[in-house]
Amino acid sequence: MKPLVSLAFCVGAGLLTGCHSTEPPGGSHFASVEIRGNTPGQISEAAVEVFQSEGYEVAKGGPTHMVFEKKASAMDNFAYGNWLDTAVWERVKASIEPVSEATFRLQCQAYMLRDRGGTTEEEIKLTGVHSSTYQKLLDRVAKRLNQGP
């Protein structure tokens, strides 16, 4: 009977630990990259350059927190649109967090935005399924800092 009790214990422990959600490195849930040897100001400047090169405008700038926005694609407009005549926008909130000495994490979360700037503005948080586009942007920021412009 002992093997059966051991098996039940292992299965029970597996179920308990199986329900625990593990976070990606650094606790980032969407997109992030670690950058070594640059200041937050340099990272912020490179992020602005990369996002602007992809058509984003800087809605809020700062040394450690930035917000980028641009009109969403026609497909996103169809998927996230509303019945008003206003276009859907993309909003990306980026931040720079210290990891260790001379190492920072640039991370972001993206949203679709309905009624941008209006009284009924609504942010729709994108899930990790959509993160690859934004991860590529962050990777470009890191590459720009490591190799220069």
Give the number of residues written for the chain.
Answer: 149
The pLDDT value given to residue 87: 86
| pLDDT tens-digit readout, 71-129 | 998 888 888 876 566 789 999 999 999 999 989 999 999 999 998 888 989 999 999 88
List, for residues 11-39, the tens digit of each pLDDT value.
Answer: 343 333 333 333 344 454 699 999 999 99
pLDDT at 79: 83
Is residue 8 in a domain?
no
Report the pLDDT averaged over residues 39-48.
Answer: 96
Domain membership flag for residue 13: no
Separation of alpha carbons 124 and 144, rounded Å: 30
Task: Let me know if residue 11 belongs to a domain.
Answer: no
Which residues are CB-contacts of 46 (< 8 A; sequence separation ≥ 6)?
Answer: 38, 141, 144, 145
pLDDT, average across residues 43-68: 96
Domain count, the chain: 1
pLDDT at res. 70: 96
Residue 24: its pLDDT value, please? 44
Q: Is residue 55 part of a domain?
A: yes
3-state secondary structure of 100: strand
Q: Does residue 5 belong to any structural domain of this protein? A: no
Range of the domain at 131: 25-147
Burial of 45 (0-12, 13-18, 19+ CB in 10 A): middle
User: What integer pLDDT is reported at residue 86 of this predicted model?
Assistant: 75
CATH number at residue 142: 3.30.310.80
Contact 125, 56 (CB under 8 A): no
* Residue 140 falls inside a structural domain: yes
The predicted pLDDT at position 22 comes to: 35
Q: What is the pLDDT of residue 148?
A: 54
Look at residue 107 and tell me if it is in a domain.
yes
The whole-model pTM stands at 0.77
What pLDDT does 28 receive? 47
